[in-house]
A and B are shown apart, each in its own frame.
Chain A
């Protein structure tokens, strides 16, 4: 009998990280019913911006690298956590601006458009940063490992999972407990009525998109030290994100979070028996669940079905 506890723990931390990646994707799809396939590329962009700030890479101009190198590592890391989401939010607003033309059309066009944008961003990253791998340094207080039950655990992984849990809580608070959240949800539910109440819906959508994409960048910065930074990382991230959204049910916040934990735990557990194949289990789970429940675990009716 294999001791399963470490695998379950690993799985749950992985699940929280999946939830963190999916958070922004979830907001945009849940509140605007728009699929943002560029989410993964924006995630990658966040990680690459962090490299410029933390790693002092003199990529764009020597100025950036030299400027940030003056600060201690911990500051640079915090700066990356703040600046990367801001920069990516601006890019995200650009994406939303282009996407406006597709709102009245078949949701397929939004999907195609963001696929194209994802490709452009990924190729742009290749052009600026090259194809090599980067490693993001983290401050010594959260790097390294510790020993628990005769096993070595990565401190950063637990820090990242904790960070993810806090981010999930904060996003939930924004949506459920603030007037902004109420307006956003109302906009998703009946945008005619919201417009009639005098609320500027296009500005609202811009803000939601900026918020969602900045969460992608935040996830990118947090996950970069664990997964490494390479141009392909966007696809590796967007796939689990879309998977947990569909599994949890489009439009359901807690559905997606529960689906993330479920997928994480499943990948962790199957990893105990067949580590090579563990990632396959999440696709099989998705197929199994959606075969029985078309809208996922907690899904509601959505325009995306038509």
Chain B
């Protein structure tokens, strides 16, 4: 069920404020519970990536299994710009976004006439092409080792200059990026454009008959999603101070699908964030006890796909509905609106 199209969506919802305020306190206590600020950085970056990915999977119903390519292109574009063109942070970030956007646009021209599994197949093939180039083009990308010694430049915003070399200051920088992304994406998915994407997800043929040029929307959303992935990739290059082909492999492209699905990207705006956090926390917490953490995470993923494709967010929605029923109130079933507002 779509939200009322006449009600203009709020730019900032209470859920956003609470989430961002909570995230702002993370560096204050994360070390006390045995974790480290860098984990927070990683969770935010992968959340941005997953949110961008979910525009395709969750909102438009397009399964991309090669999204690592754009994340990787962003990371390489960031590094290469820093080495060869400019050491200004903003220029490098724009290069990461524009670089992956161009690559995404070219790929989307080839695949946007496809549907369903064929779409997934084509994205796998393109993902492999870029991964392969990243591994083999030693002179540009540094091959298997990747680009090393990428610096975290200071963020210069005219009136002030922030040094990002410590993980805590970098965390706040990434948090600011995350906040911008959340607001922008929330606006986007509640705009007429976002509604059209959801119509395409429900039934592509029907969307065509209603008069939408579905192909253009598919190109646009893929390009946008690639650009956001590239942005996350650029931040990741800063976080890791390097860019390497591993993130472009089929495995990593699959991990982003897993995160998005486990978190509940199919039914909730916040699903990808929940999923990225779940994935990375499992890696660190379960990984501390057993090297086979991926085995257990994979099992969990299989169970989610089989029994609850709506993911963690879906479980939360069910619990909420159950609680409402218990109190005798009519259940409210409007997941997107509800988790956002």
Where the two chains meet, the residues of A that have a C-beta atom closer than 8 Å to any C-beta of B are 35, 98, 101-102, 106-109, 111-113, 115-117, 119-120, 123-124, 126-127, 235, 239, 242-243, 246, 276-277, 279-280, 283-284, 286-287, 290-291, 294, 304-306
What 0/1 readout, one digit per residue, does chain B (7-33) give for beta carbons within 8 Å of chain A?
000000000000000000000000000
Q: A111-B65, A246-B121 given. 6 additional CB < 8 A pairs?
A: A120-B299, A242-B121, A280-B132, A283-B132, A294-B113, A306-B115
Min Cβ gap B175→A in Å is 31
Cα–Cα distance between A291 and B121 once the two chains are bound (Å): 13
CB proximity of B203 to chain A, nearest CB, Å? 10
Number of A-B residue pairs having CB atoms within 8 Å of each other in the complex: 106
Q: Is there contact, CB below 8 Å, between B116 and A306?
A: yes
B250 at the interface (CB under 8 A from A): yes
Q: Are B125 and A283 in contact (CB under 8 A)?
A: yes
B63 contacts A108, C-beta separation under 8 Å: yes
Chain A residues lying within 8 Å of B126, measured Cβ to Cβ, are: 283, 287
- Do A120 and B295 touch across chains, with their CB atoms under 8 A apart? yes
B2 within 8 Å of A (CB atoms): no
Complex alpha-carbon distance, A128 and B126, angstroms: 33
- Chain A residues in 8 Å Cβ range of B337: none
Contacts of A286 in B (CB 8 A): 125
* Nearest CB on B from A270, distance (A): 13
Interface 1/0s, chain B 144-157, versus A by CB < 8 A? 00000000000000
A239 is contacted by which of B128, B254, B258, B309 (Cβ under 8 Å)? B128
A interface SS class: helix
**Complex contacts, A106 vs chain B, CB 8 Å:** 116
A261 → chain B, closest Cβ, in Å?
19
Mask, B108-147, CB within 8 Å of A = 1, is: 0010011111101110111011001100100000000000
Ordered by A's residue number, 14 sampled pairs between the chains whose C-beta atoms are within 8 Å are A101-B306, A101-B307, A107-B116, A109-B309, A111-B65, A115-B258, A116-B299, A116-B301, A119-B254, A119-B298, A120-B295, A126-B295, A239-B250, A287-B125
B129→A280 contact, CB < 8 A = yes
On whether the beta carbons of B301 and A243 are closer than 8 Å, the reply is no
A180–B275 CA distance with the chains assembled, in angstroms: 45
Of A243, A284, A287, the most chain B CB neighbours within 10 A belong to A287
The residue in chain A whose Cβ has the minimal distance to the Cβ of B107 is A287
A294 in complex: contacting residue of B63, B114, B117, B120, CB < 8 Å: B114
**Smallest Cβ-Cβ distance to A232: which chain B residue:** B251
Contact between A287 and B117, CB atoms less than 8 A apart: no
- 5 shortest A-B CB distances, which residue pairs? A123-B295, A119-B298, A120-B298, A116-B302, A304-B117
Chain B residues whose C-beta falls within 8 Å of the C-beta of A111 in the assembled complex: 63, 65, 117, 120
Instruction: Look across to chain A and name the residue whose beta carbon is closest to the beta carbon of B113.
Output: A294
At the interface, yes or no: B316 with Cβ under 8 Å from chain A?
Answer: no
> Which residues of chain B are within 8 angstroms of A119 by Cβ–Cβ distance?
254, 294-295, 297-298, 301
Contact yes or no, A116 B298, CB < 8 A: yes
> Does B44 lie at the interface of the complex (its beta carbon under 8 Å from any beta carbon of A)?
no
- A283: chain B residues within 8 A (beta carbon): 125-126, 128-129, 132
| B305 close to chain A: CB less than 8 A | yes
User: Which A residues touch B120, using CB under 8 A?
Assistant: 108, 111
User: Which of B110, B117, B124, B257 contacts A291 (CB under 8 A)?
Assistant: B110
> Are A290 and B124 touching (Cβ within 8 A)?
no
Query: How far, in whole Å, are A163 and B276 apart by their CA atoms in the complex?
Result: 45
Return the contact of B292 from the options A98, A127, A243 (Cβ within 8 A). Answer: A127
* A279, B132: Cβ atoms closer than 8 Å: yes
Instruction: Give Cα A294 to B254, complex, Å.
Output: 24
A107 contact set on B, CB distance < 8 A: 116-117
Q: A117-B302, A120-B298, A280-B132 are in contact. Are A235 and B251 (CB under 8 A)?
A: yes
B259 lies within 8 A of chain A by Cβ: no
B261 within 8 A of A: yes
A286 nearest CB neighbor, chain B only = B125
A100 to B249, CA, bound (A): 29
Closest to B124 in A: A242
Complex alpha-carbon distance, A158 and B309, angstroms: 46
**Please, which residues of chain A bring their CB within 8 A of the CB of B291?**
126-127
Query: Beyond A116-B258, A242-B121, A306-B115, is A277–B110 a contact (Cβ under 8 Å)?
Result: no
Question: Separation in Å of the A239 CB from the closest CB of chain B?
Answer: 6
Q: How far does the alpha carbon of A239 sit from the alpha carbon of B131 in the complex, in Å?
A: 13
Residues from chain B with a CB closer than 8 A to the CB of A117 are 298, 302
Given A108-B117, A111-B120, A305-B116, are A116 and B305 neighbors across the interface (CB < 8 Å)? yes
Min distance, Cβ B292 to any Cβ of chain A, angstroms? 5
Q: Cβ of B116 and Cβ of A108 under 8 Å apart?
A: yes
Distance of A123 Cα from B302 Cα, bound (Å): 14
Across the interface, which residues of B come within 8 angstroms of A239, CB to CB? Answer: 124, 128, 250
Task: Give every chain A residue within 8 A of B261 (Cβ-Cβ).
Answer: 112
**Chain B residue nearest in CB terms to A295:** B118
Given A242-B121, A277-B136, A287-B122, does the pair A115, B110 have CB atoms closer than 8 Å?
no
**Contact of A113 (CB < 8 Å), options: B129, B249, B297, B306:** B306
Assess the A276–B136 pair: CB atoms within 8 A.
yes
Contacts A111-B117, A126-B292 given; indicate if A287 touches B129 (C-beta within 8 A): yes
Shortest Cβ distance from B306 into A: residue: A101
Known contacts A123-B295, A290-B122, A305-B116; decide if A284 and B129 are in contact (CB<8 Å): yes
Query: Given the complex, which residues of A lie within 8 Å of B309, measured CB to CB?
Result: 109
Q: How far is the CA of A304 from the CA of B116 in the complex (A)?
A: 6
